[in-house]
Amino acid sequence: MRVIAGSRKGHRISAPRGVVTRPTGDRVREAAFSIVGPVEGARVLDLFAGSGAMGIEALSRGAARCVFVEQDRGACAVVTRNLEKLELTSAVVLCNNVDQALREERARGHRYDLVLVDAPYEAWGAHAPVLGRSLPELLEPGGVAVVETAARLEPELPLDLVTTRRYGSARITVFRKP
Contact 3, 9 (CB under 8 A): yes
CATH number at residue 66: 3.40.50.150
66 burial (CB, 10 Å; 0-12 / 13-18 / 19+) is buried
Phi-psi region of 50 (alpha: psi -120 to 50; beta: other; left: phi over 0): left
17, part of any domain: no
6, part of any domain: no
pLDDT class of 19 with cuts at 50, 70, 90: very low
16, part of any domain: no
123, part of any domain: yes
20, part of any domain: no
pLDDT of residue 29: 87
pLDDT of residue 22: 57
Of 99, 2, 124, the residue nearest 51 (C-alpha): 2
94, part of any domain: yes
Report the C-alpha gap between 72 and 18 in whole angstroms. 12
Query: Poorest-confidence range of 16-25, 81-90, 100-109?
Result: 16-25
> Mean pLDDT in the chain?
93
Domain extent at residue 140: 26-176
153, part of any domain: yes
Query: Quick count: other Cβ atoms within 10 Å of Cβ 142?
Result: 9
pLDDT class of 21 with cuts at 50, 70, 90: low
Total count of domains within the chain: 1
Of 101, 103, 114, the residue nearest 40 (C-alpha): 114
pLDDT tens for residues 95-154? Answer: 999 999 999 999 999 999 999 999 998 899 999 999 999 999 999 999 999 999 999 999
2, part of any domain: no
| 3-class DSSP state of 18 | coil
Q: What is the pTM of this model?
A: 0.93
Residue 79 has pLDDT above 70, yes or no: yes
